Structure 1
Amino acid sequence: MNRSRVVVKSLLLSALSLGIADCTGVANSAGVHASSLKGSVSLMGKPVNGAAITLWQVSGGKEPKQLKTLSSGKDGAFSISLSPKEGAVHYLVVTGGRVDGEEAKRLSMLSVLDDKVAESVVVNELTTVGSIWPNAQLLEDDALRGSASALAIGSGQVRNLVNPGSGSYGETLLRSSNLLNSETTVRMNVLSNLLGLCAGAENTQACDELLSLTGSENTLSALTSIARQPWKNVSQLYKLFDQSYPIDKTTELRSTATLPYLLFEPKSFSLSLVFNGGGALGLGKLMFDGKGSMWSGTNWMPGSQSGVVNNIGGGVTHFGPGGIPLSPAISGYNGQGINGVGWGTGVSEKYAWVGAFNNMVGVLDLKDGEALGPATIDGEVGQLQGVATAANGDVWIADNTANHMIHFPGGDYTKGKRHTIDGLQAPFGVAVDARNRVWVSSSYNNKLTVFPGDAPDQAKTIEVNLGGRGVAVDSTGHIWIAQQSNSPQGALPPGAKMPPNIPANAPQPKTIMEEFEAGAEYLLTNPTITQTGMVGLISPDMEVVKTDIAKGTAYIPWGVSIDGNDNVWVGNLYGQSLTHICGVNPANCPAGKTTGDVIHNYQSGVIQMTTDVIVDDAGNLWSANNWFDGEVVINPTYRGRTSTFGGGQGFVVTYGVAGPVQNPLMGPVRKQS
């Protein structure tokens, strides 16, 4: 059915700066004129009259305030007076009302206002879905709460899914990569139609079932519950849609449902969007700054025919909280001669840091990406990988090919010092715990190395599986590590025709790309291998707790992140997924799940070969599409129409499924208060 698109002229002011005025057209004390915001309330294309409309205002770290409550007219129309207020996010909650003369007592809908100027505002089933998913972890009933950065991300992402001015789809959702390559649009439509079951007496039983499945009292809470745990009760929810919107035998369509809809039962009702631009190709490690902006070094330059054999390196990409690219297209930020970045991206209080392939540490100002580096280091370095910032501001970078650790005390990029540490062979991932101990994985041996930040010569090692990659520290001090093999010895899998990608006693590759090429060739030439890699768990006392976590789901696991619930997220490269794992506190996991259990494995057509997944301040996941076509990545010759398909295309945001954290990551994870 067509949704109501009542267009009435108004000025929709910034969601970060909207306020309420006493009367339309009268200047407030700051000299800023108020404006009358007009709009409509509809459900499945029908006006909702007599609904209670509440305008809410919330600022970072504060309780939301009700500014005004009014009722919609017979045609669903309303008008409200607004004026700018710096640092505030505004949203509209609609409850009750009548649809086709029937009371809709359990109806509750939402529209989070954004920072775009528009001429109308609509509250309907689609704005509800589009507003809930990016803010799901910040919503409790009709109260929206969060830090300034969390609110900026949550409100800034809404327009990507839905246009609150028209009540229709967002521009980012309608881009071909999202519309054609993912289920996001059809999932949103089915979710909208499930909400529509609470329109009145005709669907009382169906509405009862929706609320029962989600443990909710109204539709706003019901959809918030689905957004947070989109894998829960999926079969029952899809069956409810199937039965409530039957196929018309004449048209062979579900004529009362919104087109297009799901033809098959989904794995979950998660919503994901891919974002491009700003030089984003082959992103390795993602990091957030304290204002909700994302930074990442790029393996290769967009538009190039790059892979691990031949390549043109990229620069540094920077995106705002709403997914808008701030760095320039193609090259990204590159005022200091960066020629490609692997997994080496970090953020400190003042700077973004990248460990480059061309033997340098790039440093950028967080405000505008101004080049401040290369950093000064007390000797020559090799090709660099992981970057970590300690709680005290120290920055540590893994020198992957020269087997050093590079230390910048207090985050001073002019005072880099190299440390040679026993046990390191191709250091890769780096994390710092609350005791200022530095944990480093090695991509070319079976050691996890740990040393005091103020005494690197006192290093100790722990035996883990071969092929260590990402390392993360949870709030209890436990260490989680991605391991790309199933053994510390690297035993040959059945049917393997050549040594594994990390052969015992083999010489370390001279370049990072050579190591990646060897690993990819090994998997490509051994088609019998359909799974390799697991996640390991180490106690704060350096005891191995588990080594085989996510076995069978993990397939070349790479990046590891901890969310605000101390649960674990893994970027699963060859599995092309985001794997959610129960952390050390099972009380924060679904019933029946315990430490190390896989909660859900998120996949989408827009999620490509993934090296990293991180959690933002609002509880959304951002993941790096590192490779696209694995055969092109390792091919040394021209591949015709697919020659530019090596690098992964942009990054993906999966909404509302993680416990919010406080960024930037400095030391162990910090829960968002």
Structure 2
Amino acid sequence: MLMRRGYHRAALLAVLLSAAVAAGPGTGHATGDPGPDGGGEVRRSGVVRGGSGPVPDAVVTVYEAGTRSGDRPRRLGGTRTDDRGRFRVAYAPPRDPGAVVYLTADAPPADAAAQAAADPAGRDRRTPPATTPPVRFAAVLTGAPGGPEQPLGVTERTTVAAGSALAQFTRDGAFAGPAPGPRNAASVAHNLADVHTGGVSAFLAAPPNGARTSTLRTFNSLADALAACTARAEDCAELFDAARVAGGERPRDTLQAVADIARAPAGSPGRIFALAERHPVYAPALDTAPTAWTLALRYEGNGHEIDGPGNIAFDRGGDAWIVNNYVYGADRRDPVCGGHELLRLRPDGRDAPGAPYSGGGLYGAGYGVAIDRTGDVWATNFGFQAQGCALDPARLFRSVSQFDPRGRALSPPRGWRQGGYVQPQGALVGRDGTLWVANCGSRSVTRVPGARPDRAVNVPVADGRLIKPFGVSLDGRDRAWVTGNGSDSVAVFAPDGTLERTVTGGGLDKPLGIASDSRGNQWVSNSGKVPAPCEDATPRQLADAVGPAGGPPAEGASVTLIRPDGSTPARPFTSGSLTMPWGIAVDGSDTVWVADFSGRRVTRLCGVRTEACPPGHRTGQPISPATAGYGFDGLVRNTAVQIDPSGNVWLTNNWELVPVQTNPGGRQLVVFVGLATPVRTPLIGPPRAL
């Protein structure tokens, strides 16, 4: 049963919370700093309510988040709640329109709260608590729907939303970090909770999320674990012990506990679930403990544009640019041709203005999308199309397309063709401005100095050393590393296009994705089974080769580490959670993320900077659960994984679990919230921490 015994109680609490908010604030004294010109105060009212009821005498504070890691937030205003948990607060808006504004409510210790409820007239509102109470509620105000005239509902749910979305920017129960990370994360928090009602957001409650995935139940169970702490001080100690990140400090408040759980979700899943079971308030919730407390959301854009998303590139502001294998088709039985739209989603999954974009020869792009230093977006036209499409792909898979940062096509109607493109796949831009493209259909790469299409040069590789070139990465020396899916190799090119070497061995087995870390090491995903559908291979043959999803790991499924000198360890890295690796990415702490085409999961491996891993971990050892990875029932077959500036992990639902070949494409992007170390975008060469 998904809807436990707490369901009716949760419904009653929602009604009471709505009534309390509608009733308006109590008589709590509001204070606020003057605005930039001595005026312009913002006034907000609302109610703080835990799973056990209203929270009286809570210290309510409005903050502006710090703009650098380690900064303290700036207090904008504050007050206290009355005996019914209501408050009214005034504050001066920040000078920076991009600042993140949030509210915290520190509840008094349980015994003090009980005394205040029994004798509300005897409280001294002028005396702040000597120490920060362990129960800290939070709500993100920036980006919330509606205006300041709408009352706020501050609850365990809004706290889970804020702490999870801003997990990578939370220290000591406060938010701080460089742009655009915190602001983008704030928008994602509103996808989880509604700060006006204090309940679940409409986005989380409805398809393609809601009852269709486990995230809603996981979210409510986390809120239940906080509600247990709100109700009993003893349970706070248990929560903080369970939330503690290995090797880190024990959290001192519930907001920090949520952030720590989000960053290390597999630490103590059973203990946290046991807490949630002690105080079941929010429903529907989990019936059993998860393997990890991850929160993942599915994004569908406008609902009729995503069909076979292949890969993602993030621009400077953190928007996701996505290439689409197929044109969207609602009926799986109707054959679809190659996608002719470039998608662009905001961090919260909404379409950017004017998106999706088309033109410039875009057709059936697969794994290749890159953004250069000027912000122009490059897509490689592989010519994907489904069985039954009447078009001749050979006339369409010989180009790349270029778009400006506004989505306007800069390439001609047939795309840029100079450079010998044939079924191009992976693409990336180096620090020297050179665009590199892997030509899956011609055993070559195309080098485009300065990302100027008129200077594009084809670089063939003879003697079978690079067959079916697929993925591309760039190291700090602007060398290009290209996987050969058909040759079980990686080719290394000097910045001028000279082939330096080809790497074989080390477990390379039908490799696909490749990613550099900050120290110039290359990480390669070995599918062990996937034949890239280029040269004479077809998507139908790919489907036959990989077989049904969810099977045992493919023989050879692994990750190979290649050092800057081209050497490899004797054996690749394996794990039970690596069943058919495809995409791979490195985050800002050099840990490695691997998308799985078969297992409906993403795997996190310890990188070469072992100090960024849990204590005792070795390079290549799984940080995520060894056999399960970070699984999610909203995933299908995934080809790419990328990290955004907020630390969200994005995956492409590229093919359905049962891919009907007339229209096999998946329909969503999946975003694991706050899970990774943020990366500065766009990705130019190796990853850089935000």
Same fold (TM over 0.5): yes
The alignment status of 1:79 with 2:88, answered yes or no, reads: yes
1:602 aligns with 2:619: no
Cα contact 2:492–2:499 (8 A) shared by 1: no
The residue aligned with 1:88 is: 99
1:246-294 C-alpha deviation (Å, 9 max, x unpaired): xxxxxxxxxx522212112211111011000252221111111110100
Q: Structure 2 matches for 1:258-407, cutoff 5 A?
A: 258-278=282-302, 279-303=305-329, 311-326=337-352, 332-349=356-373, 350-356=375-381, 357=383, 358=396, 359-366=398-405, 368-374=406-412, 376-407=416-447
Structure 2 match to 1:489: none
Q: Which residue of 1 aligns with 2:164?
A: 133
Partner of 1:475: 518
**Larger strand fraction of residues:** 1
Query: How many equivalent pairs are there?
Result: 613
Q: Deviations over 1:180-226 (max 9, x none)?
A: 222111111111111112235xx233222112222322212222211
The alpha carbon displacement at 1:555 in A equals 2.0
Q: In the aligned structure 2, how far is the partner of 1:95 from the partner of 1:365? A: 47
Q: 1:427 to 1:613 in 2, by over 3 A?
A: same
How far the C-alpha of 1:530 sits from its partner, in A, is 4.7
Measure how far apart 1:348 and its partner are: 1.5
- Give yes or no for the alignment of 1:113 onto 2:147: no
- 1:51 equivalenced with 2:58 (yes/no): yes
What residue number does 1:641 align with?
A: none
SS at structure 1 position matched to 2:190: helix
2:452 maps to which residue? 412
3-state SS, counterpart of residue 381 of structure 1: coil
CA shift for structure 1 position 310:
6.1
2:671 corresponds to which of 653, 657, 660: 653
Displacement after TM superposition at 1:319 (Å): 0.6
Q: Which moved more, 1:564-573 or 1:590-599?
A: 590-599
Q: Distance in 1 between matches of 2:514 and 2:472?
A: 6
Query: Which of the numbers 223, 236, 254 marks the counterpart of 1:207?
Result: 236
Name the CA shift for 1:583/1:546 in 2 (closer, same or farther; >3 Å). Answer: farther
2:261 counterpart SS class: helix
* Alignment pair present for 1:70 and 2:94: no
1:342-379 deviations in Å (ceiling 9; x for gaps): 0011111221110012222111112x211111454435
* Residues 228, 528 of structure 1: alpha-carbon distance in 2 compared, 3 angstrom cutoff: closer
Q: Which residue of 2 aligns with 1:160?
A: 191
Distance apart, 1:473 and its partner CA: 0.6
Paired residues of 1:586 and 1:593 also in contact (CA < 8 A): yes
Cα 1:295/1:527, change in 2 over 3 Å: closer
Distance in 2 (alpha carbons) for counterparts of 1:602 and 1:141: 26
SS at match of 2:191: helix
1:561 and 2:585 are equivalent in the alignment: yes
Identity of aligned residues (%): 26
Shift in CA distance, 212/553, structure 1 to aligned 2, threshold 3 Å? closer
| CA displacement at 1:568 relative to structure 2 | 0.3
- CA–CA distance in 2 between the matches of 1:101 and 1:42? 14
The 1:240/1:58 distance shift into structure 2, 3 A limit, reads closer
Structure 2 unaligned blocks of 5 or more: 1-9, 25-30, 117-131, 244-249, 384-395
Which residue matches 1:40?
A: 47
Moved more, 128-137 or 49-58: 49-58
Partner residue of 1:441 out of 479, 483, 492: 483
Report SS of the residue matched to 1:322.
coil
1:191 and 2:195 are equivalent in the alignment: no
Match of 2:124 in 1: none
**TM-score, normalisation: structure 2:** 0.83
**CA 1:631 to 1:402, structure 2 compared with 1: closer, same or farther past 3 Å?**
same
- C-alpha separation in 1, matches of 2:334 and 2:432: 36
CA RMSD, 1 decimal: 2.7
> SS of the residue aligned with 2:689?
coil
Residues 197, 428 of structure 1: alpha-carbon distance in 2 compared, 3 angstrom cutoff:
same
Structure 2 counterpart of 1:7, which letter?
V
Opposite residue 475 of structure 2, the aligned amino acid is D
Whole-Å separation in 2 of the counterparts to 1:52 and 1:521: 61
Contact 2:224–2:275 (8 Å) recurs in 1: no
Name the SS of the counterpart of 1:273 in structure 2.
strand
Give the letter for the 1:575 counterpart.
G
Cα separation, 1, equivalents of 2:637 and 2:459: 33
